[in-house]
Structure 1
Amino acid sequence: MSDEFRDGMPFVGSRLWLDFLNTTPLDPDGRPVDLVADADGLGRWTDAAGLAGEVSAGEDPHEAGRFREILRGAFERLVRGEAIGDDVVAEVDRRLAGVAHRLRLTVGADGPQLAVERRAAGVTGVVAEDFARFVCDHEPARLKHCANPACSMVFYDVGKNARRRWCTMSVCGNRDKVGRFRDRKRREAGTA
């Protein structure tokens, strides 16, 4: 499954902020499951996202969940081609205030290099930064819901032709292929 799932967390969105939205997958009965509802879950997601070294403090999972829902509303607005709204801008900007960047000049075998180190007061600051960079330069038609109606995942289609339909081919895409195969076999059996 390549890098689609890390420590049980889905990373199929092609952007960090979308992966954060995807922390509420649906269970088999269609009910959302909050993977970051507690400190352990939020910590696991932070580690799985590779952010542990960039986040300086733990964050209230309830507050992180509230921010996730604000971003979910922004996602829906963007999909409809609407502006994200002043409320979203204010909330993202508030979280960006907790993100600091430090430039470091290092000299290695290949000569001098400039490195950027990011530190954030909480994981939502890093997510807010990814969202802010995204909304400044994205193609709205590439922002999508998974085509499986029983799936809540969202993603940014980075493919050359922007024809991606599924959150992941190994899960939802495969389910669709199996379903179509079974339907075809039933039809063939009924006409034989």
Structure 2
Amino acid sequence: MTKPFELVASHPVLDFVNTLDWRFRESGSEELLADYSDLLRFAAQANLLTAEQHRRLRRSSTENDPAQVFRRAIELREAMAQVFYALVDGVVPPVAATLKLDQYLHMAQTNRRLRWNKSRFELSWSAGEDSELQLPLWLLAQSASELLIAEAAQRVSACANLECRWLFLDTTKNHTRRWCDMKICGNRMKVRRFKAHRQA
């Protein structure tokens, strides 16, 4: 059975950035997304896609080659990573990463459609063979832009484990959250401090 993603960030965009695990580890990072099907699995688990959208895109991906869309998803993720880590570190986000994120946001916006559905208007997405496969990218770009301009952007933080640094939205009352997950990095760092104290 496929292992589910660990969604600990309280926001799908930050969880998406975290799909490159151990990003800052000296021995190297670990990629959690192998292909387009993994991207769909993530988007469904993060509630970006409805069950129906997930089924439709899985079917469409078997009829069309999604490799290029997957490469764009990784490109988008790394642009998001540069922007959000810059905010966490208190520096100006790289211009190239900001422009890349804006490019994907523009693609998302140009693929929104206003339509009449039975008794009311609704916003929907373009449905074409190649364009439909990009729906997870549009949803992620839109969600990232909404987070960046919201007050919540000030609550984006990174795990205190310097090899991990998974991003998360600190929703604690006094902004005191330090770890991506207490069961993972919190306990690991506690053990490390205990061993260092005993050896001192």
Structure 1 length as normaliser, TM-score?
Answer: 0.73
Match of 1:41 among 38, 43, 56: 38
* Kept in 2: contact 1:13–1:167 (CA 8 A): yes
Mark the CA change 1:90 to 1:29 in structure 2 (over 3 Å): closer, same or farther: closer
Picking from 156, 159, 184, the partner of 1:146 is 159
1:52 aligns with 2:49: yes
Instruction: Count how many residue pairs are aligned between Structure 1 and Structure 2.
Output: 175
Question: What is the one-letter code of the residue matched to 1:37?
Answer: A
2:21 aligned partner: 25
Aligned to 2:92: 82
Secondary structure in 1 matching 2:157: strand
Share of identical aligned residues, percent?
25
Matched residue of 2:151: which SS? coil
Aligned AA for 1:133? E
Contact 1:146–1:152 (Cα < 8 Å) also in 2: yes
Q: Which of 166, 172, 175 is 1:159 aligned to? A: 172
| Secondary structure, counterpart of 2:75 in structure 1 | helix
Checking the alignment, whether the CA contact within 8 Å between 2:112 and 2:123 is kept in structure 1 is: no
TM superposition shift of 1:62: 0.8
Which aligned segments of 4 or more residues in structure 1 are displaced greater than 4 angstroms?
83-86, 99-106, 116-120
Give, in angstroms, the shift of residue 103 of structure 1: 9.0
AA aligned opposite 1:14? S
Secondary structure at 1:155 match in 2: strand
Q: Find out whether 1:15 has 2:11 as its counterpart.
A: yes
Classify the secondary structure of the residue corresponding to 1:179: helix
Q: Secondary structure at the match of 2:21?
A: coil
Looking at secondary structure, tell me which structure has more helix per residue.
2
**Of residues 146, 150, 154 in structure 2, which corresponds to 1:137?**
150
2-structure distance, mates of 1:147, 1:30? 18
- Alpha-carbon distance between aligned partners in 2 of 1:181 and 1:103, rounded to the nearest angstrom: 63
Larger radius of gyration: 1
Root-mean-square deviation over aligned CA pairs? 3.3
Contact 1:78–1:84 at 8 Å: present in 2 too?
Answer: no
* CA deviation after TM superposition for structure 1 residue 131, in Å: 0.9
Q: Which structure shows the higher strand fraction?
A: 1
Corresponding position: 1:68 with 2:81 = no
**CA distance 1:101–1:134, change in 2 (3 Å):** farther
